Amino acid sequence: MPTPVVFSVKSAVVLLLIITGCTASCKRDGSKAVVLDPNSAAAIKSQFDVLSDSVDIKWRNMTESDDQKIGVTKLLLRELKSQPGADAAQLQSLERANARLKARRYTQQSMSSSDLIDQYDTAQDSLFRALLPVAAPNGNAPTENARNFVEGLRELDAGVVGFRVQYDRAAMQYNNYVKLRQPEIQSLGGKYTAVKPLPLFTIGAN
């Protein structure tokens, strides 16, 4: 008599496993079936937001690096002012030039005028060229701090082109999608109504 009971229990276990497996399989199949239509408003919004976020991140990385460059320059000038025999008038002039840089910097929209980019680059390069001989005459900085600041500025200056290349890549992907889907994006309403391609650093890449 115990044998049928054992058989019944085994059968129940097997049946339960089969049902569980089928349920899981159905759930997996169901999840695969939920795919957004690339032409739907939800899909277009999602793709646009991803590309927009990528552009914002690249822009933020670039401007934060530029802010850091301005900040290190400020620290270097402060260090130089504390040195015996420092030319106070010359250092104050460099401080004023450095303090004006942020206000002169182009934005994502205003950089459509390449003249603004050129003017900013010229102002920053002029400051850099005037500062280095003062901070490290003949390549010798007066203090370890000054030496570290000079090296930091050189590294930050060397990274400018790389940040711009990364931004342009992200902005070009964004622009291509906007050109392809601009009417649909603008139909989303709100902030999306004003969406348009972004200017690039690369001349002729628009």
pLDDT tens-digit series, residues 165-186: 999 999 999 999 999 999 999 9
Residue 11 pLDDT exceeds 60: no
Question: Residues 31-43: pLDDT tens digits?
Answer: 455 566 888 999 9
Total-model pTM: 0.79
Residue 4 pLDDT exceeds 60: no
Report the 10 Å Cβ neighbour count for 117: 18
Domain extents in the chain: 40-194
CA distances from 12 to 1, 3, 20 (A): 18, 14, 12
Mean pLDDT of the chain: 86
Over range 147-162, report the average pLDDT: 96
Q: What is the pLDDT at residue 35? A: 66
Q: What is the pLDDT at residue 53? A: 98
Residue 108 pLDDT exceeds 70: yes
Closest C-alpha among 168, 72, 70 to residue 123 = 70
Kindly tell me the burial class for residue 174, based on how many C-beta atoms sit within 10 Å of its own C-beta (0-12, 13-18, 19 or more): buried
Report the 10 Å Cβ neighbour count for 26: 10
Q: What is the pLDDT at residue 39? A: 85
**Number of residues in the chain:** 206
The more confident residue out of 16 and 189 is 189
Q: What is the pLDDT at residue 32? A: 54
